Structure 1
């Protein structure tokens, strides 16, 4: 490919991008004009989009696209000037023009005479009387601005807005391998009647292709690698903390050496000491003091470097993650047009409203949502929305309304699709379920609405008697549920008879990260994706029942089977008997189980790390991840776990959650939350407490600590004072003001050792105040044990 061909190919790609953008503007605007044909804002937006496409097509010598865009522009200008009132047929023709523009932009497209037919159709639109002339404005007398590659006057000015487009000879369709024929020569015409101000507006539209935001095309695989590397960088940045802690220990050793030298001086005081020995002793003390100063400075530098590295690594990770996000509207922009066209083909009036189009969604999820949403929209138009006469009889407007919305909620993406149609006939659904022998008539009569609606997701199930091109094959909702589950999400259905149906799709914000509930099972940490977790609760031992040889507990007025995570994941010994059991409830309806774990660790956002392909499919495991301290863990495949549970039940190998028949008291480690913005101090305190046997969690500032306290249980809080976002004094005040947490002991550890600082911390509610200036290992540990006792209880 020579340089000219490479340039042409690059320009064609730009034109294709421009076409997709401007066609979306046209589609949205034309659908709005169908309801309000005189909307000045929509007419202006559509005219500008058509004009921009005309200019862009001329730049790439794509003359068929020039003809289409010019004919559309003339039609829209006539509507702007009041010479034409857009009717339904005009909107259809203009929408057909957007389809042809997209096809022309594709190399090798063959349109035959479709362009000529469209131009004639737009030219023959009935015009109304010309708009009365307006009073001249000062801007009309300004000299016109010279434009790049100005178009012939004949292409811009026609009295009817259509004559030139009709008389032009058909132009060959552009292909990537051949050059388009030059446009026919134009004849001189009178000066343009378009006001200079309006012409300048159009010229600015032509420049949009050059003045848009700079875009660099990057493959999805490259973005995934960038996100993976940034997450590893974030984890590695936390390793500066242990290095700083080792430097603190070295400082303490140096302080001990200085004290030893002072002891030698004291022992030699009053005695005759050789001059050389005295000089050597003085040198040793001077060197130790220099080392102390140097190490103190380097320790501060390492602490500062650790904070900056952690901050930059977090920013890098956040930016890499943002690169994968796209507005929800990018993926659903063409759906209003599809709904409108489908409704017209069925003789219905249907409009789609989209809310939350700026909601950020992972690009992979957005692409994979297309098929499920298309299924739901087709079902809504075909099954849900009634015919216009039926709607009028029911007291509804003749036009049906479908709403599609997207929002973020509790770290999840929630997509809702609702219609104001007839809803679902539950009686008809019950009859269909019984006729298909999916259940007995007695059982069907007792099924709740939610249980009955679940049958709609079965493969091959349909309430439509006849099969059409649109529906009736029973694959729609089954496909929807399968695809949403592949996205680690869930779908729910709600309906009100005579008022409509609502589908709720809930899934992670991104496939690259997953919000998870972390649990401990036999000493190892595992993650349950929150999209699959119904509830997390403590079940008292006396509430566990033995039914048909299996353990159950009552939850939301239903018996839920209880299964040990130890048996599923580790195959090890049952957990020791305790007063209560930590249970993660997963699944829904008749597939719901409670998974008994050793303890909850808390909620975390994890970066998904795919397992090595050479491992194949690991049973019950979806992927891996790293915790903040670099500890690896496994993200569980909940669907696979439910399958494993059913296999254990069928094989009769399901064991009890605990190995004992009676309750036995077990020893547990007390939990301490360390809150400090210094990596060095935080890591030092954590290691001291862990070595003494405590279970320790850390928070980087007061706000982080407050959020952890609201979601996890602790026996003690150790906090600094000066921290970003929320300082230690405010954290102590919030703890003591909270009815649930006010009894929790709090220790303040701070460099501030003045009496007023100590009094300020104690007045806020702290139970102990320890100055870092007098800080040493035993002082912290003794204070902790004074407050809460030994680590094990």
Structure 2
């Protein structure tokens, strides 16, 4: 939905838009005053909100709103002067006044005369109730709604207050009407405040309004730009291969010249050979310079595109506070309805969250908060008997951890009765007594997420229908998230939701299946394994392997996706472990291609739901790939297992002993950790690997035996990498030996120094997280077997 055009709005619409922001501020400040009745900043905020509402209402002719706001103002003035100590009874009536202002601004059923007719009794009651409690009395019964009813399941805000129509924008808005308190007469009605923007504009800078659709389109374009910028990498790799071919041609020419050196040659032939050698050397140097320039341009282009994409992505992010405005009021109102004193503590309000995820979190968090107040927090008498504060505390926290968003809802209540839960599982026919008795606490708590499951025997306005936590589970499934429930008797319960930071990009494990790339979302990958073929066991017709003391079933990704037949390669099996506990499976794939951050591209809705596939994406070279739906794959595996159609992995390929001679690589590094990491990476790809502990050890090795490639560090004792490369290039029999430098030094001058010494490629050790190093090795010397 596009941001409203303020220039096209009527004065009444502007007032309504302004009222949404001011009433939200009023609610938040009143709840804070309930905890700190004399807090000057909150009293000032209430005063500003009431004053601005009164002035704006006077402009549009809403006299009832003027009267209500004026009474609120009187109360705040007395509190500021110290003549009135705000108590719970005052806050109750003041919150009703805020709700009443909301209904006057946006009346039920759109009846603009509501306050003068249907709502007149409620308005008059409020105008009498607030002065009464200010004078030390009690408020009369409320004629319309004695207290706000608990929020409906779909809205976490207080039901008696209108839910603000939040414009979908992600940039800073004009200053709200209440930015300053003008003197009487009434202030001029200015542009209303909108929901706080996720990207705060520095003071003095100009702000603009941008529609959500425009930002989504911008993000899509920057994602495409990022993908396109990475297409230079394979082009640079092809030039590297061209350099290798030219080096081989130079070696052939040297061999020819050696052969002809024993025979007498005429002057023309000698001159021709000499000129040909000179031209090839010039071409080789020029090609080397072009490769270096292309690599530098590639780095700058990718860096610029990444920065552009990050900026566009940041515009989608909003602070957690944007989605929590009504929760504190809702918790208080639900507690009041149940006769409990409860407050909500929110932390992580500035945590940045993707706009789409934040919108989806609203209903699930509302369910968890109501559940905590109703099921978790005990009555006051029970809490006092247990030595607790009479007021219960529900906590809501948002934070980032390990590249994921964590949302936690916890309470200090009685906790979940595990034995009652066990009996409920049996009573509802979800398990028999024998099986239920063996279920662990974690397994039992999973039943709370099932549709229609409840621990209540009676139905109330708030709970008992079993609708709630299954909504949380459904939302998490939509956004590829998970939830973990824990509880401690007498101390409370904890619901921890783990979600991706954004729905626009996804960290994935890339694999090869039947010659094509596919992506597993990393959030659903438990482990990746490379097993020897002999580690597979066949039990009752199904293949298994042992992992962490458990037997895990093995299934071929080819069968799940119905793409060809899997065969083991080089006697090993690449396995992706998915699922949880007894529902874990190992999925055999052809190869691991590394981790990538992918820009998610939704599939055309006309295709419908494609089995086992979630979305699409583009690789760095622009090639398309599919992102797998792991939850769907688990269901497919379970169907194949139950129907007896699960095929075994064909190991015939592993039995083939004919293996061509493998190419040899010398790894020179004084760090044991780095040395072993490189050795394992290359050995897993099939290369023969020899290691050297420093430059001198490496120099002795290259003179003693033949190698197809040398990979060396720079900073080493006795002889550094630059000296080693120079010695190799100075030895006639080693001049054609490819050399790659791998170093922590990533400055341009370090790179240039290594290339000038004669290195064919310069890599930083930060590249170990993916297959780029192995790809560069392949580009220089080809595959491990010839």
Q: What displacement does 1:469 show?
A: 1.6
Q: Distance in 1 between matches of 2:18 and 2:435?
A: 58
Q: Distance in 2 between matches of 1:422 and 1:668?
A: 68
For residues 745-780 of structure 1, give each alpha carbon's deviation from its aligned partner in whole angstroms, at most 9, with x where no partner exists.
973599xxxx988249999xx997695347597999
For residues 72-110 of structure 1, give each alpha carbon's deviation from its aligned partner in whole angstroms, at most 9, with x where no partner exists.
222112101111111222111221222233333337353
Q: 1:297 to 1:51 in 2, by over 3 A?
A: farther
Match of 2:45 in 1: 45
Q: 1:664 to 1:301 in 2, by over 3 A?
A: closer
Q: Distance in 2 between matches of 1:6 and 1:92?
A: 34
For residue 538 of structure 2, give the secondary structure of its aligned residue in structure 1.
Answer: strand
Q: Distance in 2 between matches of 1:668 and 1:598?
A: 20
Q: 1:393 to 1:504 in 2, by over 3 A?
A: same
For residues 649-686 of structure 1, give each alpha carbon's deviation from its aligned partner in whole angstroms, at most 9, with x where no partner exists.
2332101133349866696999xxxxxxxxxxxxxxxx
Q: 1:667 to 1:450 in 2, by over 3 A?
A: farther
Q: How does 1:1-20 map to 2 (within 5 A)?
A: 7=7, 9=9, 15-20=15-20
Q: 1:59 to 1:791 in 2, by over 3 A?
A: farther
Q: 1:294 to 1:653 in 2, by over 3 A?
A: closer
Q: Is 1:583 the equivalent of 2:575?
A: yes
For residues 559-616 of structure 1, give each alpha carbon's deviation from its aligned partner in whole angstroms, at most 9, with x where no partner exists.
4322111211243213226655333222224433222223332322211001123322
Q: Distance in 2 between matches of 1:746 and 1:199?
A: 76
For residues 488-545 of structure 1, give each alpha carbon's deviation from its aligned partner in whole angstroms, at most 9, with x where no partner exists.
1111111111111111111111111112222222322211112222333345555544
For residue 519 of structure 2, give the secondary structure of its aligned residue in structure 1.
Answer: strand
Q: Distance in 1 between matches of 2:661 and 2:124?
A: 82
Match of 1:450 in 2: 442
For the 8 Å contact 1:506–1:531, the answer to whether it is kept is no
For the 8 Å contact 1:52–1:205, the answer to whether it is kept is no
Q: Distance in 2 between matches of 1:70 and 1:709?
A: 73
Match of 1:535 in 2: 527
Q: What displacement does 1:640 show?
A: 1.2
Q: Distance in 1 between matches of 2:388 and 2:268?
A: 108
For residues 300-319 of structure 1, give each alpha carbon's deviation from its aligned partner in whole angstroms, at most 9, with x where no partner exists.
87666544433332222112
Q: What displacement does 1:298 show?
A: 8.5
Q: What displacement does 1:48 show?
A: 2.4
Match of 2:458 in 1: 466
Q: Distance in 1 between matches of 2:294 and 2:739?
A: 31
For residues 163-183 of structure 1, give each alpha carbon's deviation from its aligned partner in whole angstroms, at most 9, with x where no partner exists.
xxxxxxxxxxxxxxxxxxxxx
Deviating more after overlay: 391-400 vs 5-14: 5-14
For residues 626-666 of structure 1, give each alpha carbon's deviation from its aligned partner in whole angstroms, at most 9, with x where no partner exists.
12232321101112111211221233210113334986669
For the 8 Å contact 2:453–2:467, the answer to whether it is kept is yes
Q: Distance in 2 between matches of 1:86 and 1:395?
A: 27
Match of 1:371 in 2: 363
For residues 215-245 of structure 1, give each alpha carbon's deviation from its aligned partner in whole angstroms, at most 9, with x where no partner exists.
5444433332222111111111233456667
For residue 507 of structure 2, give the secondary structure of its aligned residue in structure 1.
Answer: strand
Q: What displacement does 1:389 show?
A: 0.1
Q: Is 1:485 the equivalent of 2:493?
A: no
Q: Is 1:101 the equivalent of 2:101?
A: yes
For the 8 Å contact 1:48–1:205, the answer to whether it is kept is no
Match of 1:124 in 2: 132
Q: Is 1:656 the equivalent of 2:648?
A: yes
Q: TM-score, normalised by structure 2?
A: 0.70
For residues 184-229 of structure 1, give each alpha carbon's deviation from its aligned partner in whole angstroms, at most 9, with x where no partner exists.
xxxxxxxxxxxxx997899999989589986544443333222211
For residue 214 of structure 2, give the secondary structure of its aligned residue in structure 1.
Answer: helix
Match of 2:612 among 596, 613, 620: 620
For residues 364-396 of structure 1, give each alpha carbon's deviation from its aligned partner in whole angstroms, at most 9, with x where no partner exists.
111111111111111111111110001111111
Deviating more after overlay: 344-353 vs 202-211: 202-211
For residues 264-307 of structure 1, give each alpha carbon's deviation from its aligned partner in whole angstroms, at most 9, with x where no partner exists.
xxx99999x9xxxxxxxx9xxxx999999999999887666544
Q: Distance in 2 between matches of 1:212 and 1:206?
A: 22
Q: Distance in 2 between matches of 1:442 and 1:661?
A: 45
For residue 526 of structure 2, give the secondary structure of its aligned residue in structure 1.
Answer: strand
For residues 404-443 of structure 1, give each alpha carbon's deviation from its aligned partner in whole angstroms, at most 9, with x where no partner exists.
1111111111111111111111111121222222222122
For the 8 Å contact 1:566–1:575, the answer to whether it is kept is no
Match of 1:384 in 2: 376
Q: How does 1:236-385 map to 2 (within 5 A)?
A: 236-241=228-233, 306-385=298-377
Q: Distance in 2 between matches of 1:227 and 1:629?
A: 19
Match of 1:772 in 2: 755
For the 8 Å contact 1:83–1:127, the answer to whether it is kept is no
Q: 1:534 to 1:333 in 2, by over 3 A?
A: farther
Q: What displacement does 1:347 show?
A: 0.3
